[in-house]
């Protein structure tokens, strides 16, 4: 019980970091913030600072949802579950922290924030991939992965590594590239990751037929 409590406490602390940060700078924030940018990177929507509160609370809400979901899971690898949960909350919390910092300090290319978040989401999904059992709703669903548990497992082990690299690449490029080349780069990275995973999946299918 103590071990579980310590793990949950670490995840909880990471989840509330955006709330702590927002609380610490609340009085120094301007009343109006640029909340949305168009494709050219120009401001097309302003809003009050109260509107960014839900973003700061989001990691905590996600953590609580994952905690509730875990109560209904009959079978799970405990170590794997906490690792996936910790990575998910870390990525989401630090993505939100970066976004809040950029909004408050009016720094960085805000148009690239959406791609930073996309990279973070890709990274989270990659970490979750390895623990997903065969199903018809999420994952790499092909006739051969759905019909063979080994093919499903091998495919998602491989795809997990590929999409971790993809997510990290998109997040790194979002800090350096302008919006237009970044759009093409992100699309190419995701497309290559999907195609590579499908090719590996078919290769695994052929190997398991031997």
Confidence of residue 165 (pLDDT cuts 50, 70, 90): very high
104 pLDDT higher than 50: yes
CB 174 within 8 A of CB 182: yes
Tell me the helices (H) and strands (E) count for the chain, helix number first. Answer: 7, 2
Total number of domains constituting the chain:
2
Q: Do residues 90 and 166 both lie within one domain?
A: no
Mean pLDDT: which of 53-62, 129-138, 176-185 is highest? 53-62
Q: Do residues 141 and 43 both lie within one domain?
A: no
CB 201 within 8 A of CB 150: no
In the chain, the percentage of residues whose pLDDT exceeds 90 is: 19
Residue after which a domain boundary falls, among 108, 142, 161: 108
Q: Do residues 55 and 103 both lie within one domain?
A: yes
Residue after which a domain boundary falls, among 63, 82, 108: 108
The overall average pLDDT reported for the chain is 79
pLDDT tens by residue, 188-204: 999 999 999 999 999 98
CB 119 within 8 A of CB 146: no
Q: Do residues 18 and 66 both lie within one domain?
A: yes
Domain that holds residue 172: 109-210
Confidence of residue 35 (pLDDT cuts 50, 70, 90): low
- CA-nearest of 117, 129, 1 to 59 is 117
Segment 18-30 mean pLDDT: 84
- CA–CA separation, 46 vs 28, rounded Å? 18
Q: Do residues 85 and 2 both lie within one domain?
A: yes
Q: Do residues 84 and 158 both lie within one domain?
A: no
In the chain, the percentage of residues whose pLDDT exceeds 70 is: 79
Per the rule left: phi > 0, alpha: psi between -120 and 50, beta: everything else, 107 is beta
| Per-residue pLDDT, 94 | 79
- Total count of residues recorded for the chain: 210
| Per-residue pLDDT, 1 | 54
pLDDT tens by residue, 72-103: 654 455 555 676 677 778 878 877 887 777 77
Residue after which a domain boundary falls, among 108, 139, 158: 108
DSSP string for residues in 39-82: TTS-EEEEEEGGGGHHHHHHHHHHHHHHHHHHTT-SS--HHHHH
3-state secondary structure of 106: coil
| Per-residue pLDDT, 74 | 41
Confidence of residue 159 (pLDDT cuts 50, 70, 90): very high
| Per-residue pLDDT, 110 | 54
- CA–CA separation, 118 vs 27, rounded Å? 30
| Tokens representing residue 89 in the block | 């909350």
């Amino acid at each position: 019980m103590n071990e579980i409590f310590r793990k949950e406490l670490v995840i909880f602390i990471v989840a509330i970091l955006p709330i702590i940060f927002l609380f610490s700078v609340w009085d120094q924030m301007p009343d109006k913030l640029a909340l949305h940018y168009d494709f050219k990177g120009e401001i097309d929507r302003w809003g009050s600072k109260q509107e960014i509160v839900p973003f700061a609370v989001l990691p905590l809400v996600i953590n609580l949802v994952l905690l509730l979901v875990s109560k209904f899971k009959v079978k799970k690898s405990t170590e794997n579950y906490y690792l996936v949960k910790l990575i998910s909350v870390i990525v989401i919390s630090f993505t939100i922290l970066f976004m809040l910092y950029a909004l408050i300090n009016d720094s960085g290319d805000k148009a690239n924030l959406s791609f930073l978040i996309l990279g973070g989401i890709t990274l989270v999904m990659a970490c979750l991939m390895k623990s997903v059992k065969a199903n018809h709703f999420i994952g790499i669903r092909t006739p051969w992965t759905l019909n063979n548990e080994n093919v499903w497992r091998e495919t998602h082990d491989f795809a997990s590594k590929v999409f971790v690299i993809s997510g990290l690449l998109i997040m790194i490029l979002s800090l350096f590239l302008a919006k237009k080349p970044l759009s093409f780069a992100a699309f190419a990275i995701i497309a290559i990751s999907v195609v590579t995973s499908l090719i590996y999946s078919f290769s695994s299918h052929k190997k398991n037929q031997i």
